[in-house]
Amino acid sequence: EAGVTQFPSHSVIEKGQTVTLRCDPISGHDNLYWYRRVMGKEIKFLLHFVKESKQDESGMPNNRFLAERTGGTYSTLKVQPAELEDSGVYFCASSQEPAEASYPYNEQFFGPGTRLTVL
Amino acid sequence: GQNIDQPTEMTATEGAIVQINCTYQTSGFNGLFWYQQHAGEAPTFLSYNVLDGLEEKGRFSSFLSRSKGYSYLLLKELQMKDSASYLCAVRDRGSNYQLIWGAGTKLIIKP
């Protein structure tokens, strides 16, 4: 079974440009998460989809970030316009169980990440 | 506030045992995860603790004390392939059950 895949693996853009990251979760996983790791710091939660709905987007840093999951399959994360501080590794993860109280254990399967560098 | 602390880096010898500690402060603890991440690769799940005590899985064990806000990951019979970053993450009711992550501990295994 294929794992979580992300595209591209690396992206180098200039400040002010737009970048779109893609995540394909494990087939059948309704729950999809986006995370970001800035160099030397901890992974931070961005948002959580359940199927095509945004369950929790409390971690999105500002309105320059737009995530979509049309059809409840793959997801995209667009950064427009990109700023220097957006540089980092963007991880996507998927799980069968949701991040809810009634599911104390939800193992998340991660993709390899997209390394974004904004110059 | 929420805070997860782990040592930045540790070094151990092949064949030995190493313990990686994680302390946390969250508003509503709801489970602790350990993930392993090799450089440039995806984090992969290692263990899960929600009750106090030790969970053993082969060469890896994870311990939790909720009253102390403390966990450790114990790696036995270290192998060179265990060189990786080890990430501690806590599920927090105060954060909609999303994971709060530590910065990770880079483990270097020497022959």
- Tens-digit pLDDT profile for residues A54-65: 999 999 999 999
pLDDT of A1 strictly over 70: no
B96 chain-A contacts, CB cut-off 8 A: 48, 56, 58, 99
- A15: closest CA of chain B, how far (Å): 24
pLDDT of A72 strictly over 90: no
A95 chain-B contacts, CB cut-off 8 A: none
Q: Tokens at residue A9, please?
A: 């693996």
- The DSSP symbol for B42 reads -
Which bin fits A115, alpha (ψ -120 to 50), beta or left (φ > 0)?
beta
Residues of chain B with pLDDT under 70: 1
- State residue B27's pLDDT score: 84
Q: How confident is the model at residue A99 (pLDDT cuts 50, 70, 90)?
A: confident
Q: Report the amino acid identity of residue A30.
A: D
Nearest to A107 among B45, B96, B103 (CB): B45
